[in-house]
Chains A and B, each alone.
Chain A
């Protein structure tokens, strides 16, 4: 049974309590955001490029059925076996069936947020299959038995010291050693063995090209290539929104992706897979898992443009100060907060509220998703569906009653100011007023503006 995760506010409160760590996390991600700014500044047509990317995605989503069929046809022609999965369970079963057919017991996997979303790892492990994540960050969190906290840098919440301790325990590095070079070397040796022994390689897909039937996987470590080239079977898993019409469109997306993600001009490896090597089998699994539902909703379909660059996380002032795990979903941060409620509205009802709606996310997004506006719209959907705590709703109905009756508003305002003046300690009491835990309340004035205004008018008129 799934146990309910703590809500964002609660998890965030725990995170923030370690202020030094919070500052470090905030600064680390802000550094990445600053690198993104510098990289974007080198492209004079940056904003035009974003617009173009957004339009290409818009077109692809509007014609998704055709492009998916075109992709399937061309992929088949190239010798790739294409599978369709309606949801995560079907996806996992398809992958498992392929593994069984080959009596595979050891697989290596390069980074794929989709398999994370479908919970593929726990499913395969339960079937007795060894699954090794080969992206260094992913391997680290896999050894720690925790989910990624970031979609591009899955172990960004950890410091060198944590990794030194972890590798000491699992890979036998020297106790207390935390030199990055040394630790990376150890990981490399460990992973090389896994690569050599693997029966099957699983990868994600960054872009699938309808016109060619091929797909592109972007990594910085070359782990996707290494896995695929050493295995007899390659299974690539993708959400159906990853299809783009033409190969030339890659010129737009690849320029935006790495610059937005890490400030690099391009990822170290942009691996193009077109057809299986002689003697190899290649599978492409196309997964819906709620995407067509999202596509059918005019308010939320834009979220399917996402190319998973994580720029919206790096810039988000809330994400930077609450950590990825506080979002308790495969994809954290602003984009996760508009994707997750589509998968389970009740479980993720808190996420659209984990934002000040500052709008920075929408501005950095390379495909111009109106992220903060979707957060606002999700709040209305959740409010209408009764997925917001009842206490909040009663409070809000009361507010409207107050603000639609000017006399009541005036009376309440006066009474409130009087209360605050008379019992300042009450207003500043953290137990009764969460505002006051870390902040003082404003000092209530003698008179409201409207009282002053009325008095002035009396003076001048009377």
Chain B
């Protein structure tokens, strides 16, 4: 199985260490990973702003890049959800459909496809708060949702529980949105910031040393608030924790 590593544009530019951790994690599990060098963006920023129609070039580039891959894996629930729902091609609809059906968010790829049941080397002796990102949760069903009367589960949590020494804290509102919301974070700056602040407060109140999650965009939002507050808490993508060995 050829796994195409999809590194969202902002991760590529601002959080290369998340890409590195994802690559190392997959390779440590024996996966044959390809990183197509000419990939850029999933097209979500345009689509969420009302211009899905303008993301044609973006979609074309994505399809061209991942044509050789059996599956695509990316460390971002939001971008993966966008691809699953909206990757589109008039020229090559079959290929667009194939990719839509074979794109995975990192955690679900680990738990559902690779069926990872242990991470013997992973060790991270810290109090960790898990930020549940909406698109991964409510869109990709990576975990159960507080609104629905259904059995509880969480794929990211299952993975974090495999990490030696990790102390997962409980939150008051475990699936409240962080307020990032793509372009919402600038066009609705005031509410977006307030949401970020409130989310951070929940983690701080429960003694988190590190806030983690599967979506770097949400973590960037929380990091923005944490750094402004000069809080002694950092954000780390779940791939970084699953590959931590200290």
User: Closest chain B residue to A10 by CB distance?
Assistant: B190
Give a binary string over A341-379; 1 marks a CB under 8 Å from any B CB, 0 the rest: 000000000001111111110111000000000001001
Residues of A contacting B48 in the complex (Cβ-Cβ under 8 angstroms): 357, 376, 379
> Which of B100-108, B120-128, B217-225, B236-244 is found at the contact surface with chain A?
B217-225
B138 engages A404 (CB within 8 Å): no
Complex CA–CA separation, A193 to B16 (angstroms): 71
A359 engages B40 (CB within 8 Å): no
Complex CA–CA separation, A317 to B198 (angstroms): 10
A355-B184, A439-B228, A454-B37 known; A383 vs B12 contact (CB < 8 Å): no
* CB contact list, A407-462 vs B, under 8 A: 409, 413, 416-417, 433-435, 437-442, 444-445, 447-454
Residues of A contacting B138 in the complex (Cβ-Cβ under 8 angstroms): 358-360, 362-363
Complex CA–CA separation, A445 to B41 (angstroms): 19
Residues of A contacting B184 in the complex (Cβ-Cβ under 8 angstroms): 353, 355-356
**Interface check B156, CB cutoff 8 A:** no
Closest chain A CB from B155 CB (angstroms): 17
A356-B177, A360-B134 known; A403 vs B40 contact (CB < 8 Å): yes
**Interface check A8, CB cutoff 8 A:** yes
**Interface check A401, CB cutoff 8 A:** yes
Give a binary string over A35-68; 1 marks a CB under 8 Å from any B CB, 0 the rest: 0010011010011000000000000000000000
Give a binary string over B6-38; 1 marks a CB under 8 Å from any A CB, 0 the rest: 010101111111111001000000000001011
A363 engages B16 (CB within 8 Å): no
A439-B193, A439-B221 known; A380 vs B50 contact (CB < 8 Å): yes
**Interface check B68, CB cutoff 8 A:** no
User: Closest chain A residue to B197 by CB distance?
Assistant: A438
Residues of A contacting B13 in the complex (Cβ-Cβ under 8 angstroms): 413, 416-417, 444, 448
Number of interface residues of A (CB under 8 A): 77
A317 engages B195 (CB within 8 Å): yes
A321 engages B194 (CB within 8 Å): yes
Residues of A contacting B129 in the complex (Cβ-Cβ under 8 angstroms): none
B177 engages A317 (CB within 8 Å): yes
Closest chain B CB from A200 CB (angstroms): 41
**Interface check A13, CB cutoff 8 A:** yes
**Interface check B167, CB cutoff 8 A:** no
A396 engages B181 (CB within 8 Å): no
Residues of A contacting B191 in the complex (Cβ-Cβ under 8 angstroms): 9, 12-13, 16, 318, 321-322, 354
Residues of A contacting B54 in the complex (Cβ-Cβ under 8 angstroms): 396-397, 399-400
A-B residue pair count with CB separations less than 8 angstroms: 231
User: Closest chain A residue to B225 by CB distance?
Assistant: A439
B181 engages A449 (CB within 8 Å): no
Closest chain B CB from A430 CB (angstroms): 9
B186 engages A363 (CB within 8 Å): no
User: Closest chain B residue to A41 by CB distance?
Assistant: B149
A358 engages B177 (CB within 8 Å): yes
User: Closest chain A residue to B146 by CB distance?
Assistant: A37
B12 engages A356 (CB within 8 Å): no
B58 engages A449 (CB within 8 Å): no
**Interface check B180, CB cutoff 8 A:** yes
A37 engages B195 (CB within 8 Å): no
Residues of B contacting A30 in the complex (Cβ-Cβ under 8 angstroms): 173
A12 engages B190 (CB within 8 Å): yes
B149 engages A400 (CB within 8 Å): no
Residues of B contacting A448 in the complex (Cβ-Cβ under 8 angstroms): 12-13, 16
Could you list 23 examples of A-B contacts with CB < 8 Å?
Answer: A8-B188, A13-B190, A16-B191, A37-B147, A40-B149, A47-B150, A356-B192, A358-B134, A383-B53, A395-B49, A396-B50, A399-B45, A404-B61, A409-B9, A416-B13, A434-B189, A435-B185, A438-B197, A439-B193, A439-B227, A441-B224, A449-B20, A453-B19
- Given A317-B177, A383-B51, A403-B58; 18 other pairs, CB 8 A cutoff: A9-B189, A358-B134, A359-B135, A360-B175, A380-B51, A380-B53, A381-B50, A383-B49, A383-B50, A384-B53, A396-B50, A399-B54, A400-B58, A406-B61, A413-B12, A439-B221, A439-B228, A444-B13
Residues of B whose CB lies within 8 Å of any CB of A are 7, 9, 11-20, 23, 35, 37-41, 43, 45-58, 60-61, 134-135, 138-139, 145-150, 173, 175-177, 179-198, 220-221, 223-225, 227-228
